Amino acid sequence: MNLNKLFKPKSMAVVGISKKNPISPGRIIFVKNEFEMTVKTYGINPEGGNIEGVQLYTRLDKLPEIPDLLVIALPAESTIQYVEECAHLNIPACIIIGGGFAEIGSEGLNLQKSLEKIAFDNDIAVLGPNCIGVYSPPLIDTIFMPTERITRPPKGSVALISQSGGVLVDQFFHKFNEIKIGVSTAVSIGNRAVVDEAMLLEYFSKEDKETSNIAFYLEGFKPNKARKFLEIAKQSVDMVITYFGGLSKEGKMAIKSHTASLAGNEKILSAALKQNLIIQPKSESELLTFLKLFNILSQRKKPFDENMVVFGKVAILSLSGGHGVICADLLKKYSLSIVAFTEQQQEEMRKLVNPVARNIASFNNPIDLTGSAQDEDIVNIVQYISKIEQIECIILLILPYAPSISFMIGRRISNAITQPKKPIVCFIPYIEKYGLIIEALELSNIPVFHSIKETVQAVSALKVRTKIYNLRKQNPPVYWNDR
Amino acid sequence: MNLNKLFKPKSMAVVGISKKNPISPGRIIFVKNEFEMTVKTYGINPEGGNIEGVQLYTRLDKLPEIPDLLVIALPAESTIQYVEECAHLNIPACIIIGGGFAEIGSEGLNLQKSLEKIAFDNDIAVLGPNCIGVYSPPLIDTIFMPTERITRPPKGSVALISQSGGVLVDQFFHKFNEIKIGVSTAVSIGNRAVVDEAMLLEYFSKEDKETSNIAFYLEGFKPNKARKFLEIAKQSVDMVITYFGGLSKEGKMAIKSHTASLAGNEKILSAALKQNLIIQPKSESELLTFLKLFNILSQRKKPFDENMVVFGKVAILSLSGGHGVICADLLKKYSLSIVAFTEQQQEEMRKLVNPVARNIASFNNPIDLTGSAQDEDIVNIVQYISKIEQIECIILLILPYAPSISFMIGRRISNAITQPKKPIVCFIPYIEKYGLIIEALELSNIPVFHSIKETVQAVSALKVRTKIYNLRKQNPPVYWNDR
């Protein structure tokens, strides 16, 4: 089944456009694609007429061309006839917004089975039902919330697939936008009657050149599709990350009424994911940190050496002793370790900083330059520790509260780390007035985080990445008993 | 030792004001108190003259009055003579900014011992050395970072005590400001040579009427002071929260060079804290969520019934199935539980919502009203579940992305929950354009959080509060072996 027309259609038609209700899903989808996106959009309404000055067509077969994609925003019963029409007119892709299928029980299940049969018999890439569709900037956006209500992430390297529309729009769109992660294509799979997570993983992994990282929110695998999913993940050159909802007993109960999936046994699932080099973040914050880091590493301009290896040996450079202590505690939690400096190294570093800081700073790891640090001190120490071979990664805890830190510090760090390009991850408090410092680092693709925890999670992401790259050479096995 | 003059001085003098260097600590402290705070401020410089048009005095005994407080921002050696002068002139309180005492080893340790002797012999409340002092709005602020570099939290119910100046300014000030927690007084204790955490706990717990919640960042108790601390905490009517840095092996190493404290054995510490009703948050995010919730509950206008009891039986009302699932998973993690609704309750709720949502919504717990929910539906369901006796707390997951949710939703929820006042905690994504909704809730003191995790942590805080209130009636024992 070819998914290309689902995500890269030249033209698309929308049915279910209400003339009375401006916030009906069909109308919102039609209007936002007509006015905001680049795809050629046609609106269908049996009565014809127009919406906001744009002509509507009475029937699909009256359109000037056969569209690549049909978006159906109608109740379940009326939906089927349009899918049949897709078969009849050779429309290769279809997004079904409406609910009332398998998720409501036996009655809806029959409708969904009819739907599946038409789709598979006629090779139509049907997304949904009961979904919010596709966002593939700048081409199409079938998310039926008004654009001014949501926040849309920029174009980037991450393909997003979610079993929950709410999670797609909130945990992914909103958060991605906030922490500047870019999306290649975002997909809400709903009941995944036809197009499922394994097909999507295959498409984004093998066919979509814009994608380098693939993230899933799932509440369980589609029955009989787990093994396929794992096999594809194992062969992927992209980073594959799955975040599962409903692994607890309480969560499982909640799933029953949501997607009627089954997340299954947590331990078996985790083992199978790990075995097949799929990353399973422990929390929403870890999910986002990992994606932010991988998105940065997918940029054309690389911040670090391409062949960098991080198994977890870290140096911490801080301007606050307390931050160093908290960071050290967190390193332990994420199975990373602090490299001890020799007496000689400590003495050499001491000579590199200004006389006031020199007398009160501490050059153990974590290094604490104190609030008396100046820009030059930070640059000198970063360059010094970059050259220490056993250190694989540097954590910089920059607090621009210190009176002598200038607004040049971001730019100066960016310039300092070009040779050798040892991985560096920065913590800077997220305060508007420090935007200039943060921007200087981000323009050089240096990862910047706004809590010590995320900063440590980012180093953990580097370690995970190193391990996956190493394991990919060994071709690990797939273990999963499909039902 | 009376700490009142340290935190509520009528007048204060500053020594260590550099005329050449505008960002020297003494000068920053002098200028910010003179121009930004209400305390009467005097500047001392042996050469006299003036700074920014304000007259400086050559000596302490030349001041028009004996000040309540002296701030000393000088190197260690010169500091001692000024503490002696405090004794001579009967100045009752003193803040020592400079380092170079116990934290640098044996040489500094002797200086610190002299300091202690003068202070205890003459009953001078000495804060520090090696600290950034006190912030007690609107009266005084001796934090030596320029005000425009930091963010200062508003006045409120939380007393803050930190062993790290960096943590005070960043994890507390910056974050408090961001999530709107107010501070009564903030204290950086530095080497705590004289004034220590036990004395501060006693002061804020018994003497300071502005304080209802007391939070500590510590890297270990002062030797021989743990038992005293625990005893006072046990008797406190305030919420006492301690966040410890340096409990891991890595963290302990980091502490050595920072404050030379000893966090000690994690398990023994945790047991002693718990035994004496001191809250020990597991993470920075939990610390902040707990404080935000307790600060809200300290407001004069109470959002909930004063006698509310929350042992963890929760109802979740969501507009997104995925959010309900993730929330249910997190409840499990925080030892909270979902109350199952009866068939009849579910049918009754179904009748309360609009016809579109009615057909696709799920009324199990978590309730999922779907993206078709309207304001009225949320209000009706909140009022319905407020009256179900076995439900102790409601979690509302509001996603204003849904097309029919209006900007009145915050105000309508505020109005809906006045009778009966069952505890309610809201999740709303933190997006500027939803500010109006968030503000309507916050004006009614309804706790609003911006991640599902924090929302669940807040319910966990309600549970902890209930347990502490119950245990306080039982007068629990103090266990701790002081060295």
Condensed to tens digits (0 to 9), the pLDDT of residues A13-52 reads 999 999 999 999 999 999 999 999 999 999 999 999 999 9
Interface of B with A in 427-446 (CB under 8 A): 429, 431, 433
Backbone angles phi, psi at A314, to 5 degrees: -120, 145
How far is the alpha carbon of B413 from chain A, nearest alpha carbon, in Å?
Answer: 20
Nearest-Cα distance to chain B for A437, in Å, is 13
pLDDT at position B159, please?
98
* pLDDT value for A263: 57
Give the integer Cα–Cα distance in Å for B130 and B138: 24
The hierarchical CATH code for the domain B313-450 is 3.40.50.261
User: To the nearest whole percent, how much of chain B has pLDDT over 70?
Assistant: 96
Answer whether A167 sits within 8 Å of B329, measured CB to CB. Answer: no
Three-state SS at B207: helix
pLDDT score of B483: 47
Give A64-95 pLDDT, tens digit per residue: 999 999 999 999 999 999 999 999 999 999 99
Report how far residue B431's alpha carbon sits from residue B411's, in angstroms, rounded to the nearest whole number. Answer: 17
Chain A closest CA to B190's CA: distance in Å?
A: 11
Q: Are strands A140-141 and A133-136 parallel, antiparallel or unpaired?
A: antiparallel
**pLDDT by residue (tens digit) across A435-481?**
999 999 999 999 999 999 999 999 999 999 999 999 988 866 666 66
Q: Which of A143, A164, A325 to mutate to test the interface with B (most CBs of B within 10 A)?
A: A325
Helix ranges (H only) for B213-320 are 226-235, 249-258, 266-275, 284-297
- Residues 263-282 of chain A with CB under 8 A from chain B are none
Tell me what the mean pLDDT of segment B25-54 comes to: 96
pLDDT of residue A257: 65
* CA dihedral sign of residues B42, B43, B48, B51: negative
CA distance B121 to chain A (A): 29
Question: Distance, in angstroms, between B61 CA and closest chain A CA?
Answer: 30
Instruction: Write out pLDDT tens, residues A343-387.
Output: 999 999 999 999 989 988 999 999 999 999 999 999 999 999 999
Confidence tier at A253 by pLDDT (50, 70, 90): confident
The pLDDT score that the predictor gives to residue B106 is 87
Q: Where are the domains of chain B?
A: 1-133, 150-299, 313-450
The structure tokens 């309600």 sit at B462
CB-based contact, B20 to chain A, within 8 Å: no
Architecture of domain A313-469: 3-Layer(aba) Sandwich (3.40)
Three-state SS for B348? helix
In words, the CATH class of domain A150-300 is alpha beta
Contact between A324 and B254 using a beta-carbon 8 Å cutoff? yes
Cβ-contact B249, A319 below 8 angstroms: no
Hey, are the CB atoms on B364 and A320 less than 8 Å from each other? no
Contact A320 B451 (CB under 8 A): no
> How many Å apart are CA A188 and CA A131, to the nearest integer?
6
Chain A residues whose CB is inside 8 A of the B174 CB are 429, 431
- When scoring A32, A147, A250, A374 by the number of chain B Cβ atoms within 10 A, the one with the most, hence best to mutate, is A250
What is the structure's pLDDT at B421?
A: 81
B259 pLDDT band, cuts 50/70/90, is low
Q: Which of residues 284-303 of B touch A (CB under 8 A)?
A: 284-285
Q: A105 falls in which pLDDT band (50, 70, 90)?
A: confident
Residues 6+ apart with CB under 8 A from A171: A217, A284, A287, A288, B322, B326
Distance CA A297, CA A8 (A): 25
Predicted ipTM of the assembly: 0.94
Topology of domain B1-133, CATH: Rossmann fold (3.40.50)
Does residue A21 sit at the B interface (CB-CB below 8 Å)? no
Reported in sequence order, the residue ranges of A255-392 that DSSP labels E, i.e. its strands, are 313-318, 337-338, 367-368
**pLDDT tens digits along A277-288:** 999 999 999 999
- For the stretch A138-175, pLDDT in tens is 999 999 999 999 999 999 999 999 999 999 999 999 99
Helix-strand-coil percent breakdown of chain B, rounded to 5?
45, 15, 40
**pLDDT of A483:** 46
Chain A contact for B167, CB < 8 A? yes
Res. B477: pLDDT tops 80: no
Whole-number pLDDT of residue A305: 80
| DSSP state letter for B364 | S
Whether A313-469 and A150-300 are alike in CATH topology: the answer is yes
Beta strand pairing call for B140-141 and B133-136: antiparallel
Report which DSSP code applies to B279.
B
CB A157 within 8 A of CB A37: no
Task: Please give the average per-residue pLDDT across B240-260, as a whole number.
Answer: 84
Q: What CATH number belongs to A1-132?
A: 3.40.50.720
Closest CB from A331, A403, A451 relative to B23: A403
- For A166, which of B104, B245, B323 is closest by C-beta distance? B323
Q: pLDDT band for A227, please (50, 70, 90 cuts).
A: very high
Domain B150-299 has CATH 3.20.20.140: no
